[in-house]
Amino acid sequence: MTRAQWDELIAHARAEAPNECCGYLRARDGHVDAVYRAVNERRSPYGYTLDSKSLLAANDLDDDGWEVGIYHSHPRSAAEPSQTDINLATYPHWIYLIVSLAGDPVVRAWRIADGRVEEEPIEVS
């Protein structure tokens, strides 16, 4: 991920605070190619629902062979998946990124499959 892409995730989280933001990423061979903002249809500080147009676009990317990442923010908590995040992670081959604004901004990535959570490294260049 480039510094500009990382900055975009943070900027989106700040713009939507105190509510959670959400969006998706397009990647190839582990390198992020593009970041897309989505609409959090819940408009809530406690959860997110990716708008249907964005979810369809992410699925289309997946169908076209791209790697997909879904991101959302935690305005007041750590960049770790909540139980709700784990329950809603229905695409086990996608990466889930969480942007925390609690203290200095942090972005962490997770693979979530069958209730198991494993952190994935993020390299910012």
With a pLDDT cut of 90, the percent of the chain lying above it is: 98
CATH number of 3-120: 3.40.140.10
- Specify which residues 96 forms β-bridges with: 70, 110
**Model pTM above 0.85:** yes
User: How high is the pLDDT of residue 52?
Assistant: 96
The distance from CA 103 to its chain's CA centroid, rounded to whole angstroms, is 19
For residue 115, pLDDT beyond 90: no
- Token match 């582990």: residue? 30
User: How high is the pLDDT of residue 47?
Assistant: 93
User: How high is the pLDDT of residue 16?
Assistant: 98
- Token match 């942007």: residue? 99
Query: pLDDT of 42-96, one tens digit each?
Result: 999 999 999 999 999 999 999 999 999 999 999 999 999 999 999 989 999 999 9
Please state, in angstroms and as integers, the Cα–Cα distance from residue 89 to each residue in 4, 11, 79, 102, following that order. Answer: 26, 24, 15, 23
C-alpha–C-alpha distance, residues 84 and 124, integer Å:
28
**What are the residue boundaries of the structural domains of the chain, listed by start?**
3-120
C-alpha–C-alpha distance, residues 33 and 101, integer Å:
24
